[in-house]
Amino acid sequence: MAEARPRTLFDKIWDHHVVETLPDGTALLYIDRHLVHEVTSPQAFEGLRVAGRPVRRPDATIAVVDHNIATDATRRTGITDPESRLQVETLEKNVVEFGVPYIPLLDARQGIVHVIGPEQGLSLPGMTIVCGDSHTSTHGALGALAFGIGTSEVEHVLATQTLLQKPAKNMRVTVDGTLPVGCTAKDIVLAIIGKIGTAGGTGHVIEFAGEAIRALDMAGRMTVCNMSIEAGARAGMVAPDETTFEYVKGKPYAPKGEAFERAVAWWRSLPTDPGAHFDKEVTLRAEDIVPMVSWGTSPEDVLPITSTVPNPSSFADEARQAQVQRMLDYMGLQAGQKLTDLKVDVVFIGSCTNSRIEDMRMAASIVRGRKVADGVRAMVVPGSGLVKQQAEAEGLDRVFQDAGFEWREAGCSMCLGMNPDKLTPGQRCASTSNRNFEGRQGPGGRTHLLSPAMAAAAALAGHLADVREWQPQ
């Protein structure tokens, strides 16, 4: 018998889920878990209704509201914005009509779809997971194949529990060594995107590997996988290991008892075989990573916090020079300014990149016993109601509030300008979210991406700051 071809983690999950291969090589891929939120689903349910089609597997589907909702006390009295309210009410009607399980706004489990999936054990190793949202890549941290889809595909999955897909290419990003003090998973992923660019992963699924990735807890792995989409990749993943199994064990929707043992036995067979082929390989040394911050309006425009704003003339071609000048104008920056001299108006700790309990702890450890600088609006938005409860049980809410932070309810909040939490034109924000596009946090808003620890330091200093100078007291 011929020796089986060595396969990657991605190959194995892919192969396992191919229902049928069509003559031209397109695969009909089975989808194990479908997460649904209010923004990208209304037109999909409408399509089903028009065609008279049911949801094929409501038990594999779950819906939650996160993008549109307020994260202050007003959420209890009803959504004021009529369009936001309509989207939420439309989802609430659709889940009843189609029998889809739903986590309502005032349920303690409500939160950002990419936080609650892993938290509830809805996202498991070896699964195919989709959601009408590009940051579905987050769930790849569990050793799953998880990717974002458009609304037509949401409708396709609701109706058929499958997707028509062409296989992606394999890419491996290896981070060797040990991360220096003050650096986090966020700095790893910003450094990776800075190195490979926003199209560096296009057409590929990235497997993150190496000692520094293995050493990350699940929250850190989720932060890294979350931003694979910012590197252009279709998905990001980390091979499941003991850290993964430990995390999954006991989660509400995870298998229990004997089923859990059976599942783990299968999950152990998933990591990439030695000698498997990668179409693209990139290696970084963790020791070289420094706390990172973005200066431009694309996530690849990142630099160590110790740097100065780049000079457009230092870039090679004219098109890029013009682009950099445009970014500096938008960001209100001058070439040569020290990044640590940039005053911030707002600090946002939250989003599906960095709103888990580990992120809260990291930020709180820097904030404890200190005060937010005058004139800075600082907010912490937990990723789910359960993260919020846990943080409160640990007293982290007091740490933040005593320092002058707002302590808010779970949701996407200021990650995108779609709910009441927005920047006003010209405001500069240190943000733990994932996108620094023009207008992303509100028209004219200026976003600097960084880690929760760096965001905490910026809030205390009143300007972008090197967290290594703000270590816990």
Partner 1 sequence: MKPFTNLTGIAAPLPKANVDTDQIIPARFLKTIQRSGLGRHLFANFRFREDGSENPDFVLNQEPYRNAEILVAFENFGCGSSREHAPWALLDFGIRCVIAPDFADIFHNNSFKNGILPVKLPREVCEKLMEDARMGGNARLTVDLERKVVVRPNGEEIPFEVDAFRRHCLLNGLDDIGQTLEHKDSIDSYEARQRSSQPWLYA
What is the DSSP pairing of strand 377-380 with strand 346-349? parallel
Residue 434 touches which member of ligand SF4, partner 1, none, C-beta under 5-8 Å by kind: ligand SF4
Does residue 114 belong to the site contacting ligand SF4 (CB under 6 A)?
Answer: yes
Cα 246 to Cα 146, 218, 434, distances in angstroms: 20, 10, 27
Q: Cβ(438)–Cβ(417) under 8 Å?
A: no
| Separation between Cα atoms, residue 203 and residue 397, nearest integer Å | 42
| Separation between Cα atoms, residue 133 and residue 39, nearest integer Å | 9
Residue among 333 and 412 whose Cβ is closer to ligand SF4? 412
Contact with partner 1 (CB under 8 A): which of 118, 194, 232, 385? 232
Does residue 415 belong to the site contacting ligand SF4 (CB under 6 A)?
Answer: yes
Question: What mask of x and - would describe binding to partner 1 in positions 300 to 319, judged by CB under 8 A?
Answer: -------------------x
The window from 45-53, 275-283, 307-315, 342-350 that contacts partner 1 (CB under 8 A) reads 45-53
Cα 188 to Cα 224, 244, 294, 309, 433, distances in angstroms: 7, 19, 13, 20, 14
Residue among 68 and 353 whose Cβ is closer to partner 1? 68
Residue 90 touches which member of partner 1, ligand SF4, none, C-beta under 5-8 Å by kind: partner 1
The window from 269-277, 356-364, 439-447, 456-464 that contacts partner 1 (CB under 8 A) reads 439-447
The window from 178-186, 260-268, 371-379, 454-462 that contacts partner 1 (CB under 8 A) reads 260-268
Residues 6+ apart with CB under 8 A from 138: 114, 117, 118, 146, 222, 225, 226, 352, 353
Phi, psi (degrees; rounded to nearest 5) at 444? 80, -5
Burial class (CB in 10 A: 0-12, 13-18, 19+), 181: exposed
Does residue 293 belong to the site contacting ligand SF4 (CB under 6 A)?
Answer: no
78-137 binders of partner 1 (CB under 8 A):
81, 83-84, 86-87, 90, 127, 132-134
**Other residues' Cβ atoms within 10 Å of the Cβ of residue 371:** 13
Residue 153 touches which member of partner 1, ligand SF4, none, C-beta under 5-8 Å by kind: partner 1
Closest CA to 6 of 278, 270, 237, 272: 272
Does residue 431 belong to the site contacting partner 1 (CB under 8 A)?
Answer: no
Give the binding-site size for partner 1 (rule: CB under 8 A).
69
Q: Cβ(305)–Cβ(290) under 8 Å?
A: yes
| Separation between Cα atoms, residue 425 and residue 422, nearest integer Å | 10
Element (H, E) at 319: helix 318-331
What is the DSSP pairing of strand 292-294 with strand 302-304? antiparallel
422-441 binders of ligand SF4 (CB under 6 A):
433-434
Does residue 276 belong to the site contacting ligand SF4 (CB under 6 A)?
Answer: no
Does residue 416 belong to the site contacting ligand SF4 (CB under 6 A)?
Answer: yes
Q: Cβ(437)–Cβ(96) under 8 Å?
A: no
The number of helix segments (H) and strand segments (E) in the chain equals: 15, 19
Does residue 240 belong to the site contacting partner 1 (CB under 8 A)?
Answer: no
Question: Bridge-partner residues for 29, per DSSP?
Answer: 18, 163
Instruction: Report helix, strand or coil for 247.
Output: helix
Residue among 127 and 352 whose Cβ is closer to ligand SF4? 352
Does residue 282 belong to the site contacting partner 1 (CB under 8 A)?
Answer: no
Residue 114 touches which member of partner 1, ligand SF4, none, C-beta under 5-8 Å by kind: ligand SF4
Runs of H (alpha helix) within 179-317: 185-196, 211-214, 218-226, 242-248, 257-267
Residue among 46 and 176 whose Cβ is closer to partner 1? 46
Does residue 131 belong to the site contacting ligand SF4 (CB under 6 A)?
Answer: no
Does residue 67 belong to the site contacting ligand SF4 (CB under 6 A)?
Answer: yes
What proportions of the chain, in percent to the nearest 5, are helix, strand and coil?
40, 20, 45
348-367 binders of ligand SF4 (CB under 6 A):
351-352
CB of 116 to partner 1, least distance (A): 17
Residues engaged in binding partner 1 (CB under 8 A): 19-20, 22, 24, 26, 28, 30, 32, 39-40, 42-43, 46, 51, 53, 59-60, 67-68, 81, 83-84, 86-87, 90, 127, 132-134, 148-153, 155-156, 159-162, 164, 166, 198-199, 202-203, 232, 234, 254-255, 259-260, 263, 266, 298, 319, 323, 416-418, 425, 435, 437-440, 443-444
Residues engaged in binding ligand SF4 (CB under 6 A): 66-67, 112, 114, 133, 135, 351-352, 412, 415-416, 433-434
